[in-house]
Amino acid sequence: MKELINILNKASKAYYQEDREIMSNKEYDALYDELQELEKKTGIILSDSPTQKVGYTILSSLPKVKHSQRMLSLDKTKEIAQLKNFLGDQKGLLSWKLDGLTIVLTYRDGKLFQGVTRGNGEIGEDITNNAKTFKNIPLFIPFKGELILRGEAVIKYSDFKKINENLPPEEQYKNPRNLCSGSVRQLNNEITAKRNVYFFAFSLVEAQGKDFEDSKVKSLEWLKSLGFDIVEYKLVTKDNVEEVVYEFEKNISHNDFASDGLVLTYDSISYSLSLGSTAKFPRDSIAFKWKDEMKETKLLAIQWNTSRTGLINPVAVFESVELEGTTVNRASLHNLSILEDLKLGIGDTIKVYKANMIIPQVAENLTKSNNIEIPKECPVCKGKTEIIQVREGKALYCTNPNCEAQRIKTLTHFVSRDAMNIEGLSEATIEKFVKKGFIKDFIDIYNLYLYEEEIKNMDGFGEKSYKNLINSIEKSKQVELPNLIYALGLNHVGLSNAKLLCKYYNYDLEKIINCKMEELINIEGFGDIIANSIYTYFNKEENKERIYKLKDLLQIQVTKINEEQILKDKTFVITGKVEHFKNRKELKEKIESLGGKVTGTVTKNTDYLINNNIESNSSKNRKAKELGITIITEEEFLNMIK
């Protein structure tokens, strides 16, 4: 069934999203019928089956649910000898301790009834609507009694990387666990569905009327027979547990999911129940954490890497050391906050290790000379840098929209809906075209017809896709001036600011190109930062040349659109997680399109702070209350603009 689902979903994606066929309709229908027959025969229907259409819903909040059994944390050890002592004469199950979000699923009458997060162990949040969109859980099972099981929701490393690449820098997640937690607890389950969340069952709590002959292994295998993916495990005794621990250790680097150790639990259900629990831990299970192999070394340099999003990430380069069987000489510092907290300096003695035995990290700085200078220029394009606030702290950012490292992101922005609106040019497609040398700059998009045969023969393309793309490119040549200005990707210039700019210069592109700083500052709604960004961009000859080339190619419309600016003169600050918009950037653009302004700091000039958790004790909430600033939820904001 899983194999059929995979094949059918690939065929459906190719047909509906990529305008190509990888099988005939007859072949598809035959496989679909085979899957449907198997679903009837087994009574199992998996969440990603093409026979199911899960509806999307938006909630105002996640209801709180009290667990029927308290969920305790596990006691921990780093000593294999303690695992042997723990087992004694008992058999045990040794499995991965997955690093995600623990979920409790309840089934009634063969149907998924409820999904609840672990929460504080006593009370969790109801995420049933989101659980229905997980990639691999059964929505229907043949067992009709009440079934309660626990498992871990995880996002794979490969999916984590793809998702982060499509988020703006300030919204990116530090690790898969944080992303998974945010995805599972969304109020809009359409967002959860796009995040590719997987569920791995690790224990059975209750199966009404079922007998598993006093074996947890048999209960897990029974869950597997119902269509659940179960956590990988090995049956162990005190005689072989050490050997099996090393087997797991060898596989860490090959895993596509994060783990933070192993879990050892007794196989005997009756023996486990007889032990009870302490106030903090169950007595039938224990977590094993590998000892982090820590080495001292000398910091040689800080390398600054500009990503295609414009974030400039610091990387520690140090004298080579052996860690977990491999030679390591570099470790990402992720952002400026981490670099500053470590007080790093060239020549410092640092301690390094591998987080989860995979990712090199700097654990400690023993000498703390704190002599690293933050670059004022991007290492790739020599453009000016600025420090911005991101999800995980402070980060360095390249302000040059034409930076080589940002080219793909800039091109993706250029073709986006509110810009040139060129359908068929996704970021992935642009990346392929850039690699093949078809596109280097905006103007090259309009010359893609020169590579007709090469494009038609590319994977994912064909005659129909090529024609659709060329038609979309031709259609985009008729563009409103504000959309063109927005498409250029000037820093801090959203579509609403582009409209204000065009309005001020009476929709005269020549005047905009030759704008003066003193004029820009006088534009209502513009401050020094926006004015400087526009002036700097148009003051560069290569940018002027680019615009003149586009001007000759395009049919620029100068329709003076009178949109209702219902948020004019209103200043907003956004904080916390958003629920009705894809991310904070989308909410910011909505405010700007209606004439409002969005800033990053609450001041006396702020009119509204948007925060879905009004009772939060965050610094922005406290500041807003102190200044008497109105705090509103997204729901209240949406009502405001209706």
pLDDT of residue 561: 47
Please give the CATH superfamily to which domain 404-557 belongs: 5' to 3' exonuclease, C-terminal subdomain (1.10.150.20)
Q: Are 591 and 567 in contact (CB under 8 A)?
A: yes
pLDDT in tens, 450-496: 999 999 999 888 899 999 999 999 999 999 999 999 999 887 787 87
Closest CA to 423 of 458, 474, 472, 475: 472
Whether 571-641 and 404-557 are alike in CATH topology: the answer is: no
pLDDT in tens, 90-146: 999 999 999 999 999 999 999 999 999 998 888 999 999 999 999 999 999 999 999
H-state helical runs in 150-215: 157-165, 176-184, 189-194
Q: Kindly report the CA angle at 543 between 542 and 548, in degrees rounded to 5?
A: 100
pLDDT in tens, 338-358: 899 899 999 999 999 887 667
Indicate the residue type of 280. K
Which CATH number, 3.40.1190.10, 3.30.565.10, 3.30.470.30, 2.60.40.420, labels domain 64-288?
Answer: 3.30.470.30
Catalytic residue among 91, 97, 382, 597: 97
H-state helical runs in 18-98: 25-42, 80-87
Tokens describing residue 61: 């909040």
pLDDT in tens, 412-450: 889 998 899 999 898 889 888 988 889 988 999 999 999
Q: Are 361 and 348 in contact (CB under 8 A)?
A: no
Q: Compute the distance between CA of residue 5 and CA of residue 137 in angstroms, rounded to an integer.
A: 13
Q: Is 97 a catalytic residue?
A: yes
Which residues 6+ apart lie within 8 Å of 420 measured at CB? 414, 476, 479, 483, 484, 487
> What is the overall mean pLDDT for the chain?
88
- Write the CA distances from 350 to 187, 316, 408, integer angstroms: 43, 10, 36
Strand, coil or helix: 342: helix
pLDDT in tens, 282-325: 999 999 987 777 889 999 999 998 875 688 889 999 999 887 66
pTM: 0.56
pLDDT of residue 568: 83
**What's the CATH fold of domain 295-391?**
OB fold (Dihydrolipoamide Acetyltransferase, E2P) (2.40.50)
CATH class of residue range 571-641 = alpha beta
Closest CA to 393 of 174, 65, 110, 130: 174
Q: Could you please report the per-residue DSSP string of 459-516?
A: TT--HHHHHHHHHHHHHTTEEEHHHHHHHTT-TT--HHHHHHHHHHTTT-HHHHHT--
pLDDT in tens, 587-615: 887 888 788 888 877 888 899 999 988 88
Q: Compute the distance between CA of residue 565 and CA of residue 343 in angstroms, rounded to an integer.
A: 47
Domain ranges of the chain: 2-41, 64-288, 295-391, 404-557, 571-641
pLDDT in tens, 177-205: 888 988 999 888 888 988 999 999 999 99
What sign for the dihedral angle of Cα 355, 392, 529, 441? positive
Q: At what angle do helices 407-414 and 427-436 cross, to 10 degrees?
A: 130
